[in-house]
Amino acid sequence: MKDSATALASSNGTPHLDSVAPRCALPGGEVRFRGQHLRPQELKRPHVQFGPVAGPVVIGSDDFVIARVPEGALSGPAVISTNGHMSNPLDVRVAVSISEGLNPVGNPALDAEGNIYATFSGSRGEQVPVAVFKIDTSYNVRPFVSDLMNATGIAFDRDGEMYVSSRHEGTVYRVTRSGAMSVFAEGMGVATGIAFDRDQNLFVGDRSGTIFKIAPDRQIFVHATLEPSMAAYHLAVGPDGDLFVCGPTTSSFDCVYRVDSHGDVTVLYRGLGRPQGLAFDADGNLYVAASLRGQRGIVKITPGQEASLEVSGQGLVGLAFAPGRSVVLATGDAVHRLSWDIAGLPLPPA
């Protein structure tokens, strides 16, 4: 049974919106509105407004419209206008850029104070002036780590120490709070993604599919081996202590893998395009920077292995949950912040 607002819209031809998906986007991301009377007379395009800024229409019909979130849009109500009538508003949350001119190749990372760290990774073998930047809670950006070739993965241990992998050297460095580096472990091929488990073992992915496990005493073991063509580029540890792994290929049907404590590998989910950074929320849902059914963004995979696009945006390579129920999103050249009302998986106590 239709509610009174929908019934009124049906009677006078006023556009009415039932839903928008996904509800979150970066500027340039596409969202789909569903409703009634969304096609103007004479087959003209409807007018979509994100707050005070108009958004271009990609495609539409009487009951759906796909629109692109424009530059300059802010979180707030979105409406569609047709034939001189305006629809009811629906809320769309838009990520805000907080730093540009970076080159992340995976997740950003946050310390206990909420400072954000992101890489300028560069091309393989390229020496860049600054490898890791620090973005403080006022969004001031400053160099943090230099003299590190191809910084790739960033992780913090339980005590707040930073670790950074170099895919050029196959080395993981420990970084002090002042930005001074020392070698933590080396000789791990093309070291890419890194992640700590609850016992403070550090997992390191290699581009040939090997996953190394570095114990707290720095002994190095081969924890698991995936197919040689599978680059273990992105790692995250789930609430049950299992390790989750993905790596982008040219396929549109890539996998996220689960690796248990014994090193046994199973497929968690298949059907993503170029899956990259991984992160868990407090309810055990896994979020992946990937394409789902042709649309790029942040994909949510539930414990029941159901997938849905939750954030729309091009070029996303990683994410990290932040204080205040928000999330930091990394594209290939920038870092953004989105108020998302989702809490990240808490770190185990020190």
Which range, of 53-67, 222-236, 289-303, averages the lowest pLDDT?
222-236
pLDDT at 187 over 70: yes
Structure confidence at residue 332 (pLDDT): 94
Structure confidence at residue 349 (pLDDT): 57
SS3 content of the chain, % helix, strand, coil (to 5): 5, 50, 45
Segment 17-44 shows an average pLDDT of 93
| Beta strand pairing call for 191-196 and 202-206 | antiparallel
Structure confidence at residue 227 (pLDDT): 81
pLDDT, tens digit, 9 for 90 and up, residues 110-168: 999 999 999 999 888 888 999 999 999 999 999 999 989 999 999 999 999 999 999 99
Residue 11 dihedral angles phi and psi, to the nearest 5°: -75, -30
Of all residues in the chain, the percent with pLDDT exceeding 70 is 95
pLDDT, tens digit, 9 for 90 and up, residues 207-227: 888 999 999 999 999 999 998
Segment 226-234 shows an average pLDDT of 80
Segment 162-186 shows an average pLDDT of 95
- Please count the other Cβ atoms lying within 10 Å of the Cβ belonging to residue 170: 19
Q: If you search the block for the tokens 């190095």, which residue do you land on?
A: 220
CA 91 remoteness from chain centre: 21
| Tokens of residue 111, six digits | 């310390």
Greater confidence (122 vs 176) lies with 176
Structure confidence at residue 1 (pLDDT): 45
- Is 91 in a helix, a strand, or coil? strand
Strand partners, 300: 287, 308
In order of their start, the domains of the chain are 4-94 (2.60.40.10), 96-339 (2.130.10.10)
Single-letter amino acid code for the residue at 344: G
pLDDT at 246 over 50: yes
pLDDT at 179 over 70: yes
Structure confidence at residue 209 (pLDDT): 87
Single-letter amino acid code for the residue at 153: G
Which residue in 225, 216, 271, 263 sits closest to 241, CA to CA? 263
